[in-house]
Chain A
Amino acid sequence: MTNIVIRTHDLRRTYQMGAETIHALRGVDLDIARNEYVAIMGPSGSGKSTMMNVVGCLDSPSGGQYWLNGTEVSELTDDALARIRNKEIGFVFQTFNLLPRASALHNVELPLIYAGTSARKRRERAAVALTRVGLADRMGHKPNELSGGQRQRVAIARALVNDPSILLADEPTGNLDSQTSEEIMDVFAALHAAGQTVIMVTHEPDIAKHAHRVVTLRDGRVHSDTLRDAA
């Protein structure tokens, strides 16, 4: 049990669009253990984005339960969820989502600012995280002075800086060419090898094949859940 990072039971999420009710998640049961490397796949409209938002505590489920590290988070307040996002979840987005006017170092420091870390510690830890993704020599650069791959590395460093329980990546290579995508996948593989739990939402099979487990959603339900033997 202690090894289970994420457990959902009958997870549901509905949206009200005018008179129409959209069932984005229709009862998802999913367990993810520590140090798993999971790809969540599915066609658009399958609910994978919603699943990612709920798992990432950006959104609350309409029904069912969600435990993160054994704590039920489905009923928490906004600010409590913010706390969990800050401590437990490292996001990597398709569009990197860096602050354009801030240096790489400052971007990586952001989660630590909200964690209340002292300025000196922030700097140290942000520098360590950037070094970990191979950007030790780019700390003072602004996002527009970096290549797409480097920007995504900054984003990964930012996701890692708080030692989160899960690294949650949403189409992390969607804006990158295949060469750079492979580099980013190498970074993920290395992090996973170092013990990091990685969850990646993607619709590209080439990318999904890097994961050790592929969960496919369809119409808001788990369609298939396969473990792979890939090394």
Chain B
Amino acid sequence: MTLLDAVRIALRTIWAQKMKSSFSVLGVFVGVTFLIAVVSVIEGMNSYMTEKFAGALLGVNTFQLRRFPDFQTGDVSDSTWRAWVRRPSITYADADAAVAGLDPSLLWSWVSQNTSDVEYRGKTAARVRVAGTNEQYFDVKGWRFAAGRPFTSQEAQTGQPVIVMGYDLAQRIFGDADPINRELKIQGMPYRVIGVVESQGNLFGMSLDNFIVAPAQSPVRRFVNPPNVIDELVVKASSAQQMQAAMDQVEAVMRTRRHLRPAEPDNFAVETASGVLDFWDKINSILLLALPGLVSISLVVGGIVIMNIMLMAVAERTHEIGLRKSLGARRRDIMRQFLVESATLSTVGAAAGVGFGLFVAWMVTTLTFMPARVAPWSVLVGVGLGAAVGIGAGAYPASRAARLDPIAAMRQE
């Protein structure tokens, strides 16, 4: 008897008992659904975090020099926090010294920011992120303009009250009207809109377009930071190696300026996107550790159910087994018939689980901000696990069937 024949017999039997079959594979179905759905969400989050989160918030091959880290991962204790707050601020002088020795091909800008309400003809947009920076900031961010232009080096140096704003914010304030050259007020001071940046979308449901960028020397300097102080120096390199070299150099310059002895730790932070991603990797690895446990619980339960179903099938079909043996079925033929039946049953359940898992992943993508990306390996693993559970669970019932004595088996009815 060929394997194909055995699978055909198995499918015939499974199909004849649709209801019973579908209940018996529930455990495997749930396990595989869970596997596919969770892996898809994790994979989706992975690419989301790397491409979008790190890319949009910090940028690739970009690092920042700050007083203390912008992205706190995990709990920061009170004492750590107090130590951070006691650190000296980063000043323009620090930034100038840090970038002085850097490769001129690197892009850099200082950034100081705060949130403020923005007024336009009596309308108010609340809590807008307002940043004071230089003209290289737009290149550091890699922004493209939906309208207008970035401010120029002259405008930055002379501190002109010109601003560039995010797409959603412009829509919110000006509606369909052209925002260019309109005047709005921040903290009572008038600014002229010269550019609108293309929409950056959102991150975890929060808009990334709710910002205004102005020259650091413009009147925004009065409320974003105390005089001479900046929040961060952002440096963008063109490669990872170049970035690492620049980071080392900035760190060295800062340590010299702060007169730190070799044993003393940095009293400033040099932060990269990969640092932020470490946090996600931590969550990720916890999820990936917990996943096999959860999946195997449902697969073990599913396997036990299938084993019982198969034991019942053997008991129910004792007569048939006796008949098949009398017609020339060898032990291995009977063994194979039940193993294949059990494996087929379980694999069908697993395949249904894959299907439903893909559906769940699709639902997650459609209904939530979380992206789901189906990992091909998870589909293969899911189906493979299904088959393996079926073979494992079928082994004992099948060997019982194979060892039946044909005369005794046929006597039973």
Interface residues of A (CB under 8 A from B): 53, 56, 58-59, 78-79, 82-83, 85-87, 91, 93, 95, 97, 99, 101, 110-111, 113-116, 119, 158, 162
In the bound assembly, the distance between CA atoms of A162 and B320 in angstroms comes to 20
A and B contact pairs by CB, cutoff 8 A, 8 listed: A82-B331, A83-B330, A86-B328, A86-B329, A95-B413, A101-B12, A114-B328, A116-B1
B326 contacts A113, C-beta separation under 8 Å = no
- With both chains docked as a complex, state the minimum distance between the C-beta of B385 and any C-beta of chain A, in angstroms: 30
Chain B residues with Cβ under 8 A from A158's Cβ?
A: 327
On whether the beta carbons of B324 and A114 are closer than 8 Å, the reply is: yes
Would you call the interface of chain A mostly helix, strand, loop, or mixed? Answer: helix
Q: In this complex, what residue of B is CB-closest to A162?
A: B328
B280-308 contact mask (Cβ, 8 Å, vs A): 1 or 0 = 00000000000000000000000000000
Q: Would you call B328 and A85 a contact (CB within 8 A)?
A: yes
Residues of chain A within 8 A of B221, CB atoms compared? none
B182 CB–A CB distance under 8 Å: no
Select A99's contact among B2, B323, B332, B410, beta carbons within 8 Å: B323
What 11 additional pairs, Cβ within 8 angstroms, besides A99-B323, A110-B324, A114-B329? A78-B331, A79-B332, A82-B325, A85-B325, A85-B326, A86-B327, A97-B323, A97-B410, A114-B328, A116-B1, A119-B5
Q: Give complex CA distance A91, B325 in Å.
A: 11
Asked whether A87 lies within 8 Å of B328 as measured between CB atoms, the reply is yes
- Distance (whole angstroms) from the CB of B11 to the closest CB of chain A: 13
Whole-angstrom CA separation of A110 from B326 in the bound complex: 11
Q: Which residues of B contact A (CB under 8 A)?
A: 1-2, 5, 12, 16, 319-320, 323-333, 406-407, 410, 413
Q: Hey, which chain A residues are within 8 Å of B12, CB to CB?
A: 101
Q: How far is the CA of A113 from the CA of B329 in the complex (A)?
A: 9
Query: B328 near A58 (CB under 8 angstroms)?
Result: no
CA distance in complex: A45, B331 (Å): 30
> B410 to chain A: closest CB distance in Å?
7
Q: CB-nearest residue of chain B relative to A116?
A: B1
Cα distance A83–B325 in the bound complex, in angstroms? 10
Q: Which residues of A contact B406 (CB under 8 A)?
A: 58
Which residues of chain A are near B332, meaning CB under 8 Å?
Answer: 79
A115 touching B328 in the complex, CB below 8 Å, given contacts A53-B407, A58-B407, A99-B320: yes
Q: Which residues of A contact B325 (CB under 8 A)?
A: 82, 85
The answer to whether A110 touches B330, judged by C-beta atoms less than 8 angstroms apart, is no
| Distance to closest chain B CB from A97 (angstroms) | 5
Closest to B319 in A: A97
A111 / chain B contacts, CB cutoff of 8 Å: 327-328
How far apart are the CA atoms of A82 and B325 in the complex, in Å? 7
Whether the pair B320, A82 counts as a contact (CB closer than 8 A) is: no
Provide the bound-state CA to CA distance between A110 and B321, in Å. 12
Return B2 CB to nearest CB of chain A, in Å.
8
Q: How far is the CB of A15 from chain B (nearest CB, A)?
A: 11
Q: In the complex, which residue of chain A has the Cβ closest to the Cβ of B325?
A: A82
Closest chain B residue to A115, Cβ basis? B328
Which of chain B's residues has its CB closest to A56's CB? B326
The reply to whether B323 and A114 contact each other, CB–CB distance below 8 Å, is no
Nearest residue (CB) in B for A80 is B330
Residue of A58, A79, A97, A99 near B330 (CB, 8 A) is: A79
From A97, A101, A114, A162, give the contact of B333 (CB < 8 A): A114
* Closest residue on chain B to residue A85 by CB atoms: B328
**Structural contact, A78 and B330, CB atoms closer than 8 A:** yes
With A79-B332, A101-B16, A119-B5 as given contacts, are A114 and B327 in contact (CB-CB < 8 Å)?
Answer: yes
In the bound complex, CA of A44 to CA of B16 (Å): 39
In the assembled complex, which residues on chain B have CB atoms less than 8 Å from the CB atom of A97? Answer: 319, 323, 326, 410
Give the Cβ gap from A89 to chain B, nearest Cβ, in Å.
9
Min CB–CB distance A185 → chain B (angstroms): 23
A residues near B327, Cβ cutoff 8 Å: 85-86, 91, 110-111, 114, 158
CA distance A53 to B411 in the complex (A): 12
Chain B residues with Cβ under 8 A from A56's Cβ?
Answer: 326
Give Cα A93–Cα B2 distance, bound, in whole angstroms. 27
**Min CB distance, B170 to chain A, in Å?**
71
Min CB distance, A22 to chain B, in Å?
14
Q: How far is the CB of B1 from chain A (nearest CB, A)?
A: 5
Taking the closest CB of chain B, its distance from the CB of A200, in whole angstroms, is 17
How far, in whole Å, are A59 and B2 apart by their CA atoms in the complex?
A: 27
Q: How far is the CA of A56 from the CA of B322 in the complex (A)?
A: 13
Which residues on B sit within 8 Å (CB–CB) of A79? 330-332
Chain A residues, CB < 8 A from B2: 116
With a CB–CB cut-off of 8 A, which chain B residues contact A101? Answer: 12, 16
User: Which A residues are CB-close (under 8 A) to B407?
Assistant: 53, 58-59
Closest to B406 in A: A58
With both beta carbons as reference points, the residue of chain B lying nearest to A113 in the complex is identified as B1
A79 to B336, CA, bound (A): 14
Question: How far, in Å, is A10 (CB) from chain B's closest CB?
Answer: 22
Give bound CA distance, A116 to B330, whole Å: 12
